[in-house]
Amino acid sequence: MNKDNVKTLAQAVLKNEADAITALIGRIDDAFFNACELMLHCKGRIVVMGMGKSGHIGSKTAATLASTGTPAFFVHPGEASHGDLGMITTSDVVMAFSNSGETAEITSLLSVIKRLGVPLIALTGNRESTLARNADAHLDVSITKEACPLGLAPTTSTTTALAMGDALAISLLEQRGFTEADFALSHPGGSLGKRLLLKIEDVMHAGSSTPYVLQSVNLNEALIEMTKKGLGLTAIVDEHNVVVGVFTDGDLRRVLDHGEINVRTIKIADVMTKNCKTTTPDALAAETLSIMQQHKINSLPVVDKEHKLVGALNLQDLLRAGVV
């Protein structure tokens, strides 16, 4: 392999595709707006079609639409004429990808699509093609040449189609007022989903696993409770279960640094941290993690609106839950 030749060819491919995408900017016209309007007012779902490489682009576009607030799914046009066309309802919108605009598996479905009265959005590289002429909205994704030196492999043509699909999806996202929280609902397993959906009540220790002692007890009883529950703290509560302080592993080290003490006689109220940081069950886990890291806190009591103890958690609980 010639290193310089490889680099030069790669740069030429990227420039070719970048130039083709840049050319699309001037084609964001009324047809693009009409396509967005059809999709925005669609009562059903966006049914995306495409053959070969265009099918891969169509499948990705359907996935992007679905994850950004526009219900969509991909139907293979070859299977559509053998029963899958039944997936399309009169409430849907069809989006078809075809560089030539003459893909037989798609054009053969035009009469049925028209009979159903379903709007058709076509993304092609040929304005005069059958698909373009029959579309309710045609988006021109034509290119000057493919990045492939042979001019055969779909490269630049699929890149422009993909970019236009993204432009549609993001334009619709904005019009729908789609938010991060909406995105997280469709991505609950990802890090974003955990950041925006996971709450303290999902990860906290509650009930008998919550470490707490009354403010009237001695330090040794608090240490026994901390050891038994293993969260690195114990909440200190009054007779109404209201949190009045906390005692942590760090507090114990600070107490011991002050010299000899009698853990059996000193009151926990005398050595606890008053006005301690707390969190609530409905707080976002990610926000709580940020507070803990900011204040270098490893454990927190969880309280309700009346500041009564309902649970506890430590940093490891949040990290195990994948909150990053």
CB neighbourhood size of 42 (10 A): 19
Residue 243: predicted pLDDT: 96
In this structure, what is the dihedral angle of CA atoms 67, 68, 70, 73, given to the nearest 10 degrees? -30
Domains of the chain listed by start with CATH number: 3-178 (3.40.50.10490), 200-320 (3.10.580.10)
By DSSP bridging, strand 299-303 and strand 309-314 are antiparallel
The whole-angstrom separation of Cα 58 and Cα 55 is 5
Per-residue pLDDT of the chain (324 residues; tens, 9 = 90+): 889 899 999 999 999 999 999 999 999 999 999 999 999 999 999 999 999 999 999 999 999 998 888 999 999 998 876 666 778 889 999 999 999 999 999 999 999 999 999 999 999 999 999 999 999 999 999 999 999 888 778 999 999 999 999 999 999 988 887 666 556 555 555 555 556 668 899 889 999 999 999 999 999 999 999 999 999 999 999 999 999 999 998 888 888 887 667 778 889 999 999 989 999 999 988 888 888 888 888 899 999 999 999 999 998 888 887 776
Burial pattern 229-257, b for ≥16 Cβ within 10 A else e, equals: bebbbbbbbeeebebbbbbbeebbeebee
Instruction: Please give the structure tokens belonging to residue 50.
Output: 């495409």
Q: Where are the alpha helices (DSSP H) in the chain?
A: 3-24, 30-40, 52-67, 77-80, 104-107, 110-116, 130-133, 156-176, 180-185, 191-197, 219-229, 249-257, 268-271, 285-294, 315-320
Closest CA to 58 of 67, 47, 69, 71: 47
**CA distances (Å), origin 251, targets 80, 89, 216, 222, 234:** 68, 66, 18, 12, 11
